[in-house]
């Protein structure tokens, strides 16, 4: 059955990657943001799990109405065609914190932090998710575009399992996903050694990598973007990050400032200022970033305290 044949919107998303995707797609942060922004229940969608690469092309091949966690167009248009089908993209919708991890038992770089992305080429295999080559910046691309050590994996549970079971392997992955999957694997195999003593963390990438949602329907995309701004400014978005254990208030700030500003800032302060340009826009964004960062940080502290 294709998406066009089904009255219930079909959501394409990857295999479970807790805390982002859980319970065969019906749970986790990504689904929570989708349903909250659209003000819908989880059971108002049909969920189909597949590899990252298949999610990226799911709308174009008629397999889905919505594609979760996709790479956003870089030209700022928030739309493109795939196989003749227009796809409409959301604002950046959730953050990932990508790190490199090595096993202490492999003693890679004497278990000292690796200093540059280029150094990664000296080790391997390097297990990533599908699409990482185009999502981690120019230096990563140039280092691995022709490097056979680069091994993209469509299922991130499998990616983490390969890392733990392969000598001298490196893994590039979101920290929360790595810890959630590794904890289960290590609990089944280790001799009561704490997880954090079994790996070395290498921080080589930008603090946040953002992803969004592709929609077949422009109206639904617009509804989602508007809803995303609303749940940001009611702090529901920040509550969801806390609920699912995502790391910092900076995550909410980066997503929410962009969404609120793109929606003409009407949800952040109850007033539609319109779209500003030039120095006025830059000053307002800076002001909003500062105010929102302070408020979100205080709120995050209070929620964690509860």
DSSP code string of 205-270: S-S-EEEEEEES-HHHHHHHHHHHHHHHHTTHHHHHHHHTT---HHHHHHHHHHHHHHTTTHHHHS
Report CA-CA distances (Å) from 220 to 106, 167, 253: 48, 46, 24
Mean pLDDT, residues 219-245 taken together: 91
pLDDT of residue 266: 46
pLDDT of residue 290 exceeding 90, the answer is: no
- Whether the upstream peptide bond of residue 194 has omega within 30° of 0, thus cis, is no
DSSP secondary structure of 21-64: BBGGGTBSHHHHHHHHHHT--GGGSEEEEE-HHHHHHTTTTTS-
Query: What's the half-sphere exposure (Cβ side, CA atoms, 13 Å) at 60?
Result: 12
Q: Any idea where the domains of the chain sit in the sequence?
A: 3-95+208-305, 98-202
pLDDT of residue 270: 36
pLDDT of residue 7 exceeding 70, the answer is: yes
The token pair at 46 is 């049909």
pLDDT of residue 3 exceeding 80, the answer is: no
Q: Confidence band (pLDDT; 50, 70, 90) for 74?
A: confident
Q: Using CA atoms, how far apart are residues 154 and 151, in angstroms rounded to an integer?
A: 10
**Segment holding 295, helix H or strand E:** helix 278-305
pLDDT of residue 1 exceeding 50, the answer is: no
Q: Using CA atoms, how far apart are residues 261 and 274, in angstroms rounded to an integer?
A: 9
Architecture of domain 98-202: 3-Layer(aba) Sandwich (3.40)
What's the length of the chain? 306
Q: Are 132 and 152 in contact (CB under 8 A)?
A: yes
pLDDT of residue 257: 79
Residues linked to residue 171 through DSSP beta bridges, in sequence order: 101, 127
Residues linked to residue 102 through DSSP beta bridges, in sequence order: 170, 200
Q: Which CATH number fits domain 3-95+208-305: 3.30.2130.10, 2.60.120.200, 1.10.240.10, 3.40.190.10?
A: 3.40.190.10
pLDDT of residue 107: 97
**Segment holding 200, helix H or strand E:** strand 199-202
pLDDT of residue 108 exceeding 80, the answer is: yes
Q: Using CA atoms, how far apart are residues 3 and 235, in angstroms rounded to an integer?
A: 33
How many percent of the chain have pLDDT more than 90? 59
Q: Are 66 and 34 in contact (CB under 8 A)?
A: yes
Tell me how far apart the terminal alpha carbons of the chain are, to the nearest angstrom: 46
DSSP 3-state of 4: helix
The token pair at 63 is 């397999």
**pLDDT tens-digit series, residues 267-282:** 443 333 333 333 333 3
pLDDT of residue 253: 76
Question: Which is more confidently placed, 287 or 270?
Answer: 287
Q: Using CA atoms, how far apart are residues 217 and 195, in angstroms rounded to an integer?
A: 44
């Amino acid at each position: 059955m294709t998406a066009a044949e089904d009255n219930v919107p079909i959501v394409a998303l990857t295999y479970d990657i807790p805390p982002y995707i859980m319970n065969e797609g019906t749970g986790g942060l990504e689904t929570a943001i989708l349903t909250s922004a659209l003000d819908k229940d989880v059971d108002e969608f049909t969920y189909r799990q597949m590899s990252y690469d298949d999610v990226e092309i799911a709308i174009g091949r008629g397999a889905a109405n919505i594609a979760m966690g996709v790479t956003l167009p870089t030209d700022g248009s928030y739309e493109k065609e795939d196989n003749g089908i227009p796809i409409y993209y959301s604002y950046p919708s959730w953050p990932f914190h990508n790190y490199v991890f090595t096993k202490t038992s492999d003693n890679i770089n004497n278990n000292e932090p690796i200093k540059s992305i280029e150094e990664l080429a000296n080790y391997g295999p390097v297990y990533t998710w599908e699409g990482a080559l185009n999502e981690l910046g120019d230096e990563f691309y140039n280092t691995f575009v022709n490097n056979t050590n680069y091994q993209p994996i469509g299922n991130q549970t499998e990616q983490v399992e390969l890392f733990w079971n392969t000598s001298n392997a490196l893994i590039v992955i979101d920290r929360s996903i790595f810890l959630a999957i590794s904890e289960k694997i290590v609990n089944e195999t280790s001799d009561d050694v704490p997880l954090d003593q079994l790996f070395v963390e290498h921080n080589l990438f930008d603090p946040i990598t953002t992803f969004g949602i592709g929609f077949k329907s422009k109206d639904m995309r617009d509804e989602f973007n508007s809803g995303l701004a609303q749940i940001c400014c009611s702090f529901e978005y920040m509550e969801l990050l806390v609920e699912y254990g995502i790391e910092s208030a900076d995550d909410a700030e980066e997503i929410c400032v962009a969404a609120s500003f793109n929606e003409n800032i009407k949800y952040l302060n109850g007033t539609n200022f319109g779209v500003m340009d030039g120095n006025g826009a830059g000053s307002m964004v800076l002001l909003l970033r500062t105010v929102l960062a302070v408020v979100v940080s205080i709120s995050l502290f209070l929620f964690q305290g509860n």
